[in-house]
Structures are given as structure tokens and as C-alpha cells.
Amino acid sequence: MKRVLITGGAGFIAHHLIYFLLNKTDWTIISLDRLDYSGNLNRLDNILSKLTDTQKSRIKVVYHDLKSEINPWIKKEIGDIDIILHLAAGSHVDRSIDYPMEFVLDNVVGTANILDYARYINDKKGLERFIYFSTDEVFGPAPAGIDYKENDRYNSTNPYSATKAGGEELAVAYENTYGLPVYVTHTMNVFGERQHPEKFIPMCIKKIRDGETVTIHSDKTRKIPGSRHYIHAEDVAEAIYFLLINNIDHNLDFGGAKCPKFNIVGSEELNNLELAKIIATSQGKELKYKMVDFHSSRPGHDLRYSLSGEKMKKLGWEPSIKLTDRIKQVVNWSLENQNWIEL
């Protein structure tokens, strides 16, 4: 039975991953979290209420802030580990613009500390896999018709994406220097149940429910909305599991790069106006909206991000449920659990 350490386990994406793995496997999960602005133990409590006692017995929560090294007491609490999934990160773009050093400490120093712990485990008993959870934003804005592949150049446009790129390069370096078995994943905009209410989809659900006006991020003309490849957190969890259980041949390329990278991408691209309309239709409500040129007035916010999902598709994975069905699923759940969309 494998033992898996998931950093940021009380965070939005990570708690979906924990729920997926407890249902799909017999693995033991150790959730490492500092329970800050992004972390919420109520997420774990909510998913645990849906599990059997046996499943619940396979999760342990350890409190730790990765700005500090993992000391001997925390190591003892964690115990032996086979797999590390590093999802803990500061991820709020606006906050990174206002307080960039916070993100350097969380996303670069924090990653260095978990990598040092992974090196300790690897030297002690061998580590099966370390997955660094990166973002589409490291590539920067994508012009129309461009879908960035895993090894395309980076062009960070805000401190958040720059620090995620910095953490990613550290992960690559630890594979090259110390032989850590590292994978890197890039994921686009993730949504789902129990997401923070400030995020676009839960915010839209609430505003449309209440008959309020939804602000749509657009270009300078206020005619072209921003767009993303949205993906549900359950699909992300399924993709991570796919990478963990399959033997994937990795041909060295780009000057002998050893560290495999994988884009986890939703199957459809939607602009934010189309998305808001789907949310409104799902509620049987009228959409009230205004287009706002937020990008030009505040550098660091990009109109379009886009990744190519071809590599994962060729390996045998792509989302199995249509995006529109996933959106309706989250709308219905949110209206039945309205405390999760209230600030």
C-alpha cells in the first residue's frame, strides 16, 4: 500500500485529489498544510463525510508551513513516503502583484524545502515519484491560434507565474542534480465544488442567482472576452492518477532534458462571456453583464491562456465528461450548497 504526501491538502485542487485517491486506491494520504487564506479544513471535512470509516482511516493531516524546512518532528509525523504531490502554493495573481516577496517565499523557498525533503526520502529508501504542480501562466499570454506545448519558452507576466516558473526550474534541477524522479504538470483554469467564492465561476453563480451584473474581462475594445480552457478538478485528479499508475516512456529532447512535463488541459476553450451564459442558462436566469478592459489598466492580467493537450491525449488521457456538463454539475451543486459560494 503506497503512502502519498500531498502538500496544500486543504486547498481547492488538492482536496479533490485526496477524495479521488481515497475512492480509487487503497493508498494512505498525508495532507500537509498551513491552513492559510487558500486552505480550508472544512473542505476535507465535507469530503470525509462521504467516505467510509475505512477510507477515513487512510488520511492524516499534518500542519506545517513550507517556508520552514521539514524538521525531524515533522518528518516523524509524516512517516515513510512513496510519492510526493506538491500542490501547495500562493496562487492569487492580484496579491502577488501587491506582495511579490510573499510569493517568492511560498512558491520558490517552499518548493526548495519540499524538494530537500524529497531528496532525503529518495536517499533513505527511494522515492517513486515527485510531481510539481505548475500552471499555464508560466507561458504567458497566448495569441489567437497558439496552444503552448510542454517545452515551449516561458514568459511570466506577474510575480505569481514567475515564482511558479522558479519552483518548476528548481524541481527540474533536483532531477538533474540529485536524480529525483520528477514530473511537472501544467494545468489551466480549474473549477469545481468548494472553490473559493472569489473565483470567476462561483462568483458568477452567486451574482446570477442574485440578479447582479457580472463583470467580463475583455480587450481594449470591450468586445473580445478573455478565454481559457477550463477543466474540472476531478478531471485534474484523474490525470494525475493516470500519470502515477502508467509507465510512460520519455524520450530525452531539448538538449537532453530528463524531466518529463505534461499539460493537463480541458477539452474545450470558452471565453468568459460564453461561460457566464452557460451558468445563467443552467439557473434559468437572465445574464446581466458588462465588458471591462481590466487587462490594459492592470498589467499582469492576461486576456488568453492556452495549452496543447495533445501529449496527454496521445498517451491515452483526456477529460471524459463534456465541459458544459461539468459546469452544470457545479452550478447545481453550488445552488444546493449555497454556503460555499458566500463570502
pLDDT tens digits for range 17-38: 999 999 999 999 999 998 775 6
**Rg (alpha carbons) of the chain, rounded to whole number:** 20
Of 148, 160, 174, 305, which residue is the catalytic one?
A: 160
Is pLDDT of 82 > 60? yes
Minimum mean pLDDT among 139-143, 149-153, 217-221: which range? Answer: 217-221
For the chain, the average pLDDT equals 93
Q: Which residues contact 313 (CB under 8 A, 6 or more apart)?
A: none
pLDDT score of 301: 62
Q: Which amino acid is at 61?
A: V
126: its cell numbers:
527511494
pLDDT score of 40: 77
Sheet arrangement for strand 261-264: 59-63, 28-33, 3-7, 83-86, 129-135, 182-187, 261-264
pLDDT score of 289: 95
pLDDT tens digits for range 213-251: 999 988 888 888 888 899 999 999 999 999 999 988 776
Q: Is position 160 annotated as part of the catalytic site?
A: yes
319-329 in b/e form (b: 16+ CB < 10 A) is beeebeebbbb
Of 137, 193, 302, 318, which residue is the catalytic one?
A: 137
Q: Is position 305 annotated as part of the catalytic site?
A: no
Query: Which phi and psi (to 5°) does residue 14 adopt?
Result: -65, -35
Domains by residue range for the chain, with CATH: 3-190+229-264 (3.40.50.720), 196-228+268-303+321-341 (3.90.25.10)
Name the H helices within 4-71.
12-24, 41-48, 53-56
Q: Is position 241 annotated as part of the catalytic site?
A: no
Is pLDDT of 5 > 80? yes
pLDDT tens digits for range 104-126: 999 999 999 999 999 999 999 99
Of 106, 136, 238, 269, which residue is the catalytic one?
A: 136
Query: What is the maximum span of the chain, computed from C-alpha positions, in angstroms?
Result: 60
pLDDT score of 311: 94
67-78 in b/e form (b: 16+ CB < 10 A) is eeebeeeebeeb
pLDDT score of 293: 77
pLDDT tens digits for range 258-300: 899 999 999 889 999 999 999 999 999 999 999 987 555 455 5
Classify the C-alpha dihedral 124-130-132-133 as positive or negative.
negative
Is pLDDT of 189 > 60? yes
Name the H helices within the chain.
12-24, 41-48, 53-56, 72-78, 93-98, 100-103, 110-124, 159-178, 200-209, 233-245, 272-283, 294-297, 310-315, 323-336
Is pLDDT of 252 > 80? no
237: its cell numbers:
485528479
Rounded mean pLDDT, 59-65: 95
pLDDT score of 39: 62
Q: What is the DSSP string of 270-304?
A: EEHHHHHHHHHHHHT----EEEE-HHHHSTT--SB
Rounded mean pLDDT, 150-171: 96
CA dist 8 and 14 (Å) reads 6
Is pLDDT of 255 > 80? no
pLDDT score of 294: 59
